[in-house]
Every structure is written in C-alpha cells, then in structure tokens.
Chain A
C-alpha cells in the first residue's frame, strides 16, 4: 500500500512546488522614481508662474475614431437607472469633436532640478463614483496629495487600485458612507483603479512627485505652467495607446507649444 501513497505524494509535491514557485512578484517598494513625498500642505517649492516657462499643447488623434462601446450595466439595476436616458459608454478612448483625445495624461517625466521638494497641495482631488462610473476617468495628483473618494451612488462599490510601486489596497464604500481620503506616497504613472462589484468600472490615477502634469479634457489641450528653465522629457500617456516622449527646452518666461499625435 505504500506505493499508492508515494504516487499521490509525488503528484501533490510536484503540484505544490509548481504552485509555490508560481511567481516572483515585482518588488513593491522603491522600484520606481520619486522619493516619498512630504505631507500635504508641508513646506516645499511652488511653481513660479510669473518667471517660469509654460508648455501648452494638444493631444491630436490621427485616424478614424474607434466606435464607442456601450457598457452593459444590466447586472445592477441601481446602475442602469442612473443611465435611463442613454446607456453608459466606455471612456477608454474618447475622441473630441476637434479630433483631439480626452483623458490623456501629460507630465514632465524628467529634467527637473534634482533635490527640489515640491509643495504638496492641501486641496484633495475628487474621485467620484457616480452612475457606476468613475468621475473623472483619469486624474493626476502629487505624491502625498489627498484623493477624496466619494460614492454618489445608491449601490456598494469597492475601490481597488493596483499600483506596482505604491501600497495596494482594496476597500468597500457602501452608499451614503463618508468620503475616503487616500494618498499614494510614491511617483507612479499610472495606477489602474477597479471596482469588482461593477466590473466595467475602471479609472487611472497619475501620481507625480512634482506639480507639472495635466489631464486633457474636452478640447484635448494641456497647459503646464511655472517650469524652471531647462530641458525636459515631456510624456503623454493614454490608457489604450500607451506613451510617447518629446524633448523640449524652455527658457525663463518662455511659452512653447508642443503637440502630440496619437495614431488610432
């Protein structure tokens, strides 16, 4: 009878080894740029809007805009009711009327003077769960700045950001409960956020260790103000189309235009 045990043992042992060794997870700490930020409202440099440089631009879309995808919310009546007039559409790719892209995240990826600590705004950035959608779909914050997570819906949400260099968390927020104040300590572009109750709910948070970033809106434009003179890598990030970098040099009080084109 011993042999049967050996057989089963081998099967189990092999499988345990294979499962246990299933993955080496990326280290959660210090894998990305950006030191831990000071607490919100603390000391630090602020952008010098009077003497600094300004970069403005548009994120253009080249090609035919993909068809908008309708979200099926029928699994949760409370969500369907919020969209009684028109069904909700996916916000993954939104091409504006002027052929620009909404919800692109533009930021200074590198080139800022080393060693400067930037002041963290004391006002939180709102992330609202409204109609079983995240409003807005993409936000930018500074490391250490508060995100105010709100549930405006008559339904339960769980908020689950999955960062790679910041701390991961997952919390529920029943209807009518208090807003949650949340921060991320390290720079990370971008952190996907998901709700597992409503599996279509997805948003992105760009966490930057300085204040030079912007999210494009209905006109696809962005403005970054108060930059110290220098040469920078400017990056645009889009949920579906990935990232693009541009190098740009600006002097004091200079205004430059730098457009991006995303190929659809």
Chain B
C-alpha cells in the first residue's frame, strides 16, 4: 500500500535505513576483496553449508570466506526489507522498482558466489561475481540518492537530460574499469587493458566532473559530488599504482603479504566508492537535485 511519502518521520527513517544498507553493502565489498586477496575463496569447498555445518572451524582462510558469507546473508536480508519498505511507503514507481532491482542483484550475486564455489572457481564466474558486486553497490547508491532527491518540475527535465550524458558515460566507464580490474585480479588478463582503461575513465571523469564544476559552481550539491567523484578517481589511480607495485614487490614471497593485501583491498573498495559517486552524480545531474532535507520539507513529489 503506497502511503503518502510526505510523512517526514517515515522518510527520515527510511533514508537512514537505506544508508545503513549501503554501508553494509560496502563492507561486504571489502569482505569479498579480503577473500580474494587472501586467496581464501576456496577455503570452504562446500556451499551453502560450510564444512557440512552452519559454522565451520574458524581457522586461517576459512575465517575470511565465512565472514564474507555471513555478511552477504545479512546484506541480502537488509536489502529485502528495504525493498518492502520502499514498496509500502513510496509512490515513485521507478524507486520501488530500483529497490527490487537491488534485491535481484544481491540474490543473483549470492547464486554466483555459490556457483563459483560449486564449480571450483572458474574465472568467468569469479569475475562476474566481482562485477556484480560493483553493480549491487551502484544500485544501492541509486536507491539512497534517488530516495533522497526530489523530482524536478517536468519542464526542466529536457534541459537536464543532455547534461547527464557525460556523467552516465563516466559511470559506465568506471564500471567497465572495475570489470577489467577483476579480470586482472583473477589472472585472466594482464594489467595492460586495465591501465589503458584507467586513462580513458579518468579522462571521462574529468570531462564530466570539470564540466559540472565549470558550469554549476553555484550549485552546492553538484559541486560537492563532482568534487567527490574527481577526488575518488585520483585516489583510485594512486591506489591502483600502489597495488600494482606491491604486487610486483611481493611476487617472490611465499604467501600474500599484508602490504599487498592492504593496497589491493583499498583499491577494490575505492573502486566501488568511485563508481558509487559517479552513479550519484549522474542521478543528481539528471534529477535536478535538491538536497535531502528538501524532500523532507516539501514531501518529495511523486512522479512515476
């Protein structure tokens, strides 16, 4: 039953809850990255049970893989609740759909993770799992930002659409870039396509981000998110170089070394944040943003 979304309390709590789900999804991305970097993916050879039990012996690599599985189950549950909540209290159809899309993505992700275990870590599955993780995060960002934003009046729409293309393009490039990163991580390709991709996506981010900074300096929200995207992209490039160098420096070591794990997981995590910032910016540009509290104050118009 779609209720009136102008109930400020309901809105505020739903917004907070969606942020919580987003944070948990981000933690899950980090947990997944830790699994891969510690080469612990197959420490538990069975799924959905672990060593035939609900809780396996928590030793060595098993700890990483099991923590990842538990966090994944939590996020799946949280996302499901979020979708129902949005369904019940939100009138914007696209937002309700986005909520269910997040559920679908998380469930597909769990199945992919399980399949990667069952079929003994085939590269395409593991890479698909890494890609879908980014998509899960991106969809959650869209839910959070979409929920917090009000709709622009219809006449402004046309105007903003054209402006959205650079940011949509930048977001797409970053997503592809994370896919190439996963291919490197799972030894499917060399680092070269990923490095070339970094050049291209950084250029696209600068095109989109600087364009916004130049033309919309007066708009606080746009300025903030454009700056966020630009900074995250630069941090990400730095972390990528660090991850690459630490990988080379520790290539002869008998096991994954903490420095390499640290930089690599930071690179995976910052990759999600960069993609998330691009998705957020694209939505804000597209939707002619007003800050979240404007939604609360004006009771967010529903245009589905």
Contacts and interface: CB of A to CB of B under 8 A. Distances in A.
B164 interface: yes
Contacts of A71: 254-255
A162 B21 CA distance: 37
A14 B120 contact: no
A200 B255 contact: yes
B128 A171 contact: no
**A-B interface, 10 closest residue pairs, ranked by CB to CB distance from nearest:** A90-B254, A19-B131, A200-B255, A196-B43, A197-B60, A22-B127, A23-B124, A199-B39, A196-B42, A170-B45
A228 B97 CA distance: 72
B286 A197 contact: no
B282 interface: yes
B256 interface: yes
| Residues of B in contact with A, size category | 35 or more
A92 interface: yes
B183 A160 contact: no
A118 to B, nearest CB: 29
Contacts of B139: 8
A1 B146 CA distance: 12
B57 interface: yes
Interface stretch (B167-175, B204-212, B262-270): B167-175
A174 B94 CA distance: 50
A76 B60 CA distance: 6
A23 B59 contact: no
B261 to A, nearest CB: 10
Interface string B282-304: 11001100000000000000011
A22 B254 contact: no
B252 interface: yes
Contact of A172 (B44, B122, B182, B286): B44
B176 interface: yes
A22 B40 contact: no
A18 B60 CA distance: 33
A106 B44 CA distance: 34
A14 B176 contact: yes
A197 B127 contact: no
B143 to A, nearest CB: 11
A86 interface: no
B88 interface: no
Contact of A11 (B45, B60, B97, B175): B175
A92 B254 contact: yes
A75 interface: yes
A170 B303 CA distance: 52
A57 B204 CA distance: 60
Interface in A46-88: 66, 69, 71-72, 75-76, 78-79
Given A5-B94, A69-B253, A11 B304 contact: no
Given A1-B304, A14-B176, A199-B39, A69 B168 contact: no
Interface in A121-157: 155-156
A199 B168 contact: no
A15 B168 contact: no
A4 B94 contact: yes
A23 B255 contact: no
Most chain A beta-carbon contacts within 10 A, residue among B61, B122, B135: B61
B217 interface: no
Contacts of B62: 156, 197
A11 to B, nearest CB: 5
A3 B303 CA distance: 13
Interface in A187-236: 194, 196-200, 202
A173 B304 CA distance: 55
Nearest to B286: A4
A174 B122 CA distance: 25
Contacts of A25: 122-124
A196 B131 contact: no
A158 interface: yes
Given A4-B286, A7-B168, A23-B183, A199 B40 contact: yes
Given A15-B131, A25-B124, A199-B255, A7 B164 contact: yes
A197 B38 contact: no
A12 B93 contact: no
B62 to A, nearest CB: 6
A172 B51 contact: yes
A202 B282 CA distance: 46
A25 B126 CA distance: 12
B38 A199 contact: yes
B51 A18 contact: no
B142 interface: yes
A8 B256 contact: no
Contacts of A1: 93-94, 303-304
A10 B172 contact: yes
Given A15-B175, A170-B45, 10 more contacts: A11-B138, A11-B171, A15-B176, A20-B124, A22-B179, A22-B182, A156-B57, A169-B120, A172-B51, A194-B39
B286 A160 contact: no
A76 B182 CA distance: 28
A23 B176 CA distance: 14
Given A196-B42, A198-B60, A14 B172 contact: yes
